[in-house]
Structure 1
Amino acid sequence: MEFTASQLRILEIIKNKDKISRKKIAESLKLTPAAITKSIDPLLNCGVVLEASPRESTGGRRAIDLTLNKHWVGKILGISITPSSIVVSVGDITGEIFKTKIYQIKGDEELSCYLEEIIEKELKLEKAIQVISMAITGLINSEKGVIVFSPHYNRKKIDIRESIERKFKIQVLVENDVRAMALTEKYFGAAQNSDNYVVLNVSEGIGSSIFINNTLLSGHGFISGEIGHVVMDRSSLRRCSCGKRGCLEAEASNTAIINRLVSTIKLNNYSVLKERLNSKGSINIAHVLRAVKERDFLSTKVSTEAMVIIAHSIDMIISLINPERIILIGELFGEPLLLSTLKLELQKVTLEEQKYELIVSNMLNSMHSYNPIAVVRYNLFQKISGEVNCENRF
């Protein structure tokens, strides 16, 4: 059975909610109860949608909510590829995560071969996997499943979906990591009640994603949201991973902050991190944030300067898109002093009429586990070759 246009609209509403009643669906689509019943009954009969337990009655007939059948899709093998690691998760479309495991990427490893080894190992352990979903750092053509360019791995034009589907005979979905974060926030995080928002992710690199009018924007060439590669300082000598100088990522990412601190400490400037740097040879963002908390002057100076630059990039987002919410993802935003600096600078550069809500994501520690799950959920009822069947898609 092919889904009708009304059924697809109903399924879109249901997948955006954990549970929702027929009455709420009818109100949202401006349809009669009879029309809703006619469209929903076939979905119930073929098991795509299930009736949840009835709500407690407040008088009259108790409402029965509808929910997606997580068994219709089955288990999902999630792969999140970050600049330094591969995060593997197993879950279902309701957001239940059964396990998460992290594999570190070593500089001398060939990423494609290493990835295939990991997938083969996980598929042997998990026999019920129905789909592999991947969230990858870089420019990703999600329609074709191609890595257009990934500066952190120096890879271009890799047809990753085709190679993995051919090897493992399982359908594969591929998405950019920050666009996947926007979907995670939509289904499981701070954007569940919003259809117009922007996600800004600050980690080893910097990226953003745009969700407007209930649609995830990819842009021409699938490179929308690459704010990390907007040049913020044309006089800067700091080189970005993309090859340009003075990019937001090169000036204000975790990596940029660490690099500035290390080079400044090596010029014999004092910091509480100096001893660790001399003894261990390196520092990470957790060490920097701890130093900021202790009000180490150099760490605080470099970090707050980065937050000012980030605030100016957010000002550009607000002026161009005017989103309802801006969701911040990254360890930096968990430090009260740095978040306060960001907010104060935003107040200086934005107009009073520009209304927006600034939210720090509470999904940071589990984001990479949820990203691939959210990608599957978003793509559940997208038409493939103009046809969607009631049978299990995966």
Structure 2
Amino acid sequence: MSIQARVLQLIRQQHEISQAELRFQTGLSASAISGAVRRVQSLGLIHEVGSLQEALGRPRTLLSLNADYAYTVGIQLDVQQSHIVLSNLRGKVVHKAQLSHAGLIPAQIAEDVAHFISEVSGHRIVGIGLAVSGIIDAERGVCLDSATTVGWQNVPIGPVVAERTGIATSVENDANALALAEMLFGEARHDRSFIVVTLGKGIGAGIIIDRKLYRGRTGVAGEIGHLSVSSAASYRCSCGKTDCLEATASSRAIACALSERLGVPVPPEHLRETLQNEPDVAQDILGHAGTRLGAVLAVLATVFDPDALYVAPEQSLHLPAFQQAVTTAFQSGVLPLCRAGTNLRFLAESEDMWARGAASVAIERFFGTAVQA
């Protein structure tokens, strides 16, 4: 990484920082830091935002990212409802909408994205990010398999959108995208290594090691939903198994178990309401699912030894009974040495968090190429 890139990275991580602090954190000379700052400042990526007066000496000029230098577009693709946002370089959503497509047809998605961009034409857009549940070839921008969410196989959605819009387009697994957003702008800003576990119709994990996203050799890293965790369940996962985590703890599996216990179908849109209206049944089902998930989280904490584990459940499962079951199983399953160092936290779902995560993927790509020398 070049000196300019290191300096820009540190400025991005801090709200405000002086050149003296940059020298302290990098160990570089004053001339090297000032030269790098001038270079990045000449590109318009940072600016001076005031000064810090200490007890002795001259005031120190504070530097900050010019968050409105450019913007990125983030899209969350989902069968039921897809969101699209415009974000500045600090991840602040300044405009949002829903995609109008009736079906997940790549060419139509590209048209919808182009239409959204025309609506925000006054902003300089430097990248587009798409978040899709499933296995993604991020290098080529291809969705290899998304049976759970959009039903795609080998769909080159990235190139399709890039060709229509003329803007560099990145595609990422939705859990990975959310992990990037949390690292850059959210709860994990100060963590070196952490894991975000997403829980909905499917279950996945975004793994950050030493502040770098870990995808594995083929993009399969983080597919924890297909780990075998129990005896066969009634719900069959999209992978074909009935004993994996998704067959036990996903919202679809929980809805299936609830339907069996109550003797009536429970539509996904009524899952939270039904769980709240049937506390005794819900306690049993959520306890079973939460125990299985907590055990897997304990394994992740033991294997990766991260600073923190974050669980991002969809709104229907953001319930105290479920969180308690997950937490209890995690604490009893993790090694005592890990228990002291790995924090377990739950993230509250917001309407645009997934699209914001997609925008974060485009932001990372932009900064990866913004300062080359």
Same-fold status (TM-score > 0.5): yes
2:297 to 298, 306, 314: 314
- Letter of the structure 2 residue corresponding to residue 77 of structure 1: V
Secondary structure of 1:85's partner?
A: coil
* Structure-2 separation of matches of 1:282 and 1:222: 29
- Structure 2 counterpart of 1:146: 142
Q: 1:56: Cα distance to partner?
A: 5.3
Aligned partners of 1:11 and 1:119: how far apart in 2?
A: 30
SS at match of 1:180: helix
Structure 1 residue 177 displacement after superposition? 0.6
1:343 corresponds to which residue? 327
Alpha-carbon distance in 1 for matches of 2:49, 2:169: 30
Contact 2:235–2:256 (CA under 8 A) maintained in structure 1: no
Preserved contact between residue 228 and residue 243 of structure 2 (Cα < 8 Å): yes
Matching residue of 1:269 = none
Displacement of 1:228 in angstroms is 0.9
- The more displaced of 281-290 and 75-84 is 281-290
Q: 1:201 aligns with which of 194, 198, 202?
A: 198
* CA positional deviation for 1:290: 2.5
Partner Cα distance (2:269, 2:133) in 1: 23
Corresponding residue to 1:125 among 119, 122, 129:
119
Hey, what does 1:228 align to over in structure 2? 225
Picking from 350, 353, 361, the partner of 1:367 is 353
AA matched with 2:86: V
Give RMSD over aligned pairs: 2.4
Relative to structure 1, the CA distance from residue 360 to residue 235 in structure 2 (aligned partners, 3 Å threshold; closer, same or farther) is: closer
Q: How far did residue 113 of structure 1 move?
A: 3.6
The C-alpha deviation readout for 1:267-288, integer Å capped at 9, x for no partner, is xxxxxxx6xx69xx66533214
Instruction: Answer yes or no: is the 8 Å Cα contact 2:252–2:268 preserved in 1.
Output: no
Q: Which runs of 5+ in 1 are unaligned?
A: 267-273
Cα distance, 1:246–1:364 mapped onto 2, change above 3 Å: farther
| Structure 2 equivalent of residue 290 of structure 1 | 276
Distance of aligned partners of 1:305 and 1:70 in 2 relative to their CA distance in 1, 3 Å threshold = same
The one-letter code matched in structure 2 to 1:182 is: A
Deviates more, 1:365-374 or 1:192-201: 365-374
Output the amino acid matched with 2:92: E
Tell me, yes or no, if the aligned pair for 1:18 and 1:94 is still in contact at 8 Å: no
- TM-score, structure 1 as length reference: 0.85
In structure 2, the CA distance between the partners of 1:282 and 1:206, relative to structure 1 (3 Å rule), is closer
Structure 1 353/282 Cα, relative in aligned 2: closer, same or farther at 3 Å?
closer
* Aligned pair partner of 2:344 in 318, 338, 358: 358
Map of 1:325 onto structure 2:
308
Q: 1:210 aligns with which of 194, 207, 211?
A: 207
- CA gap of 1:91–1:61, structure 2 versus 1, over 3 A, is same
* Aligned-pair CA distance for 1:300: 1.7
Q: Which stretch shows the higher mean deviation, 316-325 or 340-349?
A: 340-349
- What amino acid sits opposite 2:110 in the alignment? E
How far off its partner does 1:245 sit? 2.6
Distance of aligned partners of 1:297 and 1:307 in 2 relative to their CA distance in 1, 3 Å threshold? same
Q: Deviation at 1:388?
A: 5.2
1:166 and 2:160 equivalent? no
Residue 88 (1) aligns with residue 74 (2) = no
Deviation at 1:252, TM superposition (A): 0.3
Q: Is the 8 A contact 1:332 1:338 kept in 2?
A: no
Q: Output one character per residue of 1:168-226: Cα deviation in whole Å (capped at 9) or x when no partner.
A: 21211211110011111112211111111111111121111111112110111011111
Instruction: Give the equivalent residue in structure 2 for 1:270.
Output: none
Runs of 5+ consecutive residues of structure 2 not aligned to the other structure:
none
What amino acid is aligned across from residue 123 of structure 1 in structure 2?
I
* Alignment length (residue pairs): 367
Q: Deviations over 1:63-112 (max 9, x none)?
A: 2222222343x232211113522111112112221122234775xx2432
The one-character-per-residue Cα deviations of 1:319-348 (angstroms, maximum 9, x if unpaired) are 211111001111367422322222222222
Of stretches 228-237 and 35-44 in structure 1, the one that deviates more from structure 2 is 228-237
1:11-36 CA distances to partner (integer Å, 9 max, x unpaired)? 22222233322222212211122221
% identical aligned pairs: 22
Q: Label 1:323 to 1:308 Cα distance change in 2 as closer, same or farther (>3 A).
A: same
* C-alpha distance 288-192 of structure 1, shift in aligned 2 (>3 A): farther
How far residue 164 of structure 1 moved from its aligned partner, in angstroms, is: 1.4
Match of 1:271 in 2: none
> SS where residue 70 of structure 1 aligns?
coil
Q: Write the mapping of 1:9-48 to structure 2, written as runs, cut at 5 A.
A: 9-48=6-45
- Whole-angstrom CA distance in 1 between matches of 2:244 and 2:187: 28
Code of the residue aligned with 1:91 in structure 2: it is S
CA–CA separation in structure 2 for the residues paired with 1:333 and 1:66: 42
Q: 1:167 is paired with a residue of what secondary structure?
A: helix
Contact 1:189 1:362 survives alignment (8 Å): no
Equivalent residues of 1:133, 1:174 under 8 A apart: yes
Q: Aligned equivalents of 1:71 and 1:199: distance in 2?
A: 28
